[in-house]
Amino acid sequence: MIGNRSDMMKKFLPIIIVGLIFAAVPPLLGNDEYLLKSCVFILLNAYLATSWNIVGGYAGQLSFGHAAFMAIGGYVSTLLFMNTGLSPWIGMLIGGIVVAIISVLIGIPTFRFKGAYFAIATVAFSGGLLTILKSVPKIGPIELGSSEGLIIPLVTDGGIASFQFLSSVPYYYIILAFTAIVLFVSWYIERSKLGFYLTAIREDEEAAKALGINTARVKLYAAAISGFFTAIGGTFFGQLMGILQPDTVAGAEMSAHMVFNAIVGGIGTVFGPFIGAILLGTVGEVSRVYLGDGIPGLHLVIYGIIVTIVIVFWPKGIVEPLQNFLSKKLSFKKKVAMGVKEGRNQDGRA
């Protein structure tokens, strides 16, 4: 029993240490609001990539229209907040449930498509929603804001219930907590029966069907979970920015970030999308700040170069070489420890 606990501690100790490092970021940055907000955006991208990975990585359904789910979640919670005064915390959950249902309804016809056809279907849905949000000013008495978007009213005395803060510090810890939750859910799914089914579908859907797996139902489960968490990211984004604009929250760029972050890190893995988002987000922000003045848009070029290099040399993402490096290091340490132990035993016999 004690041995099992010790093994568990060794297994989770690196994760705990990384978590503590991320928790220490705001105090280390002091009052630098710009850097702190950049960290919030990087973590948000990590959260969204991990949410996308549940359906895009585990199920192998490459959605290029996930920004639509983010937009719907953000618009639902914001409209409830603006028209009824409902706390964004509650609206966020309602938006997540709405998107989970929509994900299932969309998945029923689109999951019949495979490969590029499915990807095109998701792009078409996202593009259609973007067109509606930009061209329809209102639905009945409900204002949608058209292309200008929704400006979220500032509530000065709302406290934490209004999900509005003067500093980026609360936003940082909130998105850090959200990211930890979605990482835990991903970890749980990977080790569950659902994760086994999803992996089987990703590797060979016809073989999975032959084994008796209800592939349609399993993919719908993944779509609902992924959509729910992505929608929550939409609410967070809206409250952070104070505005929801269609081109920003529902545009192709937002979907692309989710996909590329996951691909660079390693799709179908727990921490791959998180690592990919941290890497690309940090490199992109640093290059934009320090190199952007010389050549406008250079940070996007660097971003693209990194994505290309990873796809060419590490098709499974940077998680693969990291795992190989760590496994070799651990193997070396074990061999050293065993050598020391054998040496002590021989000294004892002597």
pTM above 0.85, yes or no: yes
Q: What percent of the chain has pLDDT over 70?
A: 87
Q: Let me know: does 169 contact 289? Beta carbons within 8 Å.
A: no
330 pLDDT higher than 80:
no
The domains of the chain, with CATH numbers, are 31-278 (1.10.3470)
pLDDT (average), residues 82-105: 96
Confidence of residue 289 (pLDDT cuts 50, 70, 90): confident
pLDDT for the residue numbered 40 = 96
294 pLDDT higher than 70:
no
d(CA 269, CA 267): 5
Of 56-60, 137-141, 186-190, the range with the lowest mean pLDDT is: 137-141
Summarize pLDDT for 192-202 with one digit per residue, the tens.
Answer: 999 999 999 99
10, two tokens: 């060794």
Residues 6+ apart with CB under 8 A from 235: 73, 74, 77, 78, 88, 91, 92, 95, 163
Residues 6+ apart with CB under 8 A from 234: 69, 70, 71, 72, 73, 74, 75, 77, 95, 244, 249
335 pLDDT higher than 80:
no
Residues comprising the chain, all counted: 350
Confidence of residue 190 (pLDDT cuts 50, 70, 90): very high
Nearest Cα to 45, choosing from 283, 311, 298, 318?
283
227 pLDDT higher than 70:
yes
pLDDT for the residue numbered 126 = 93
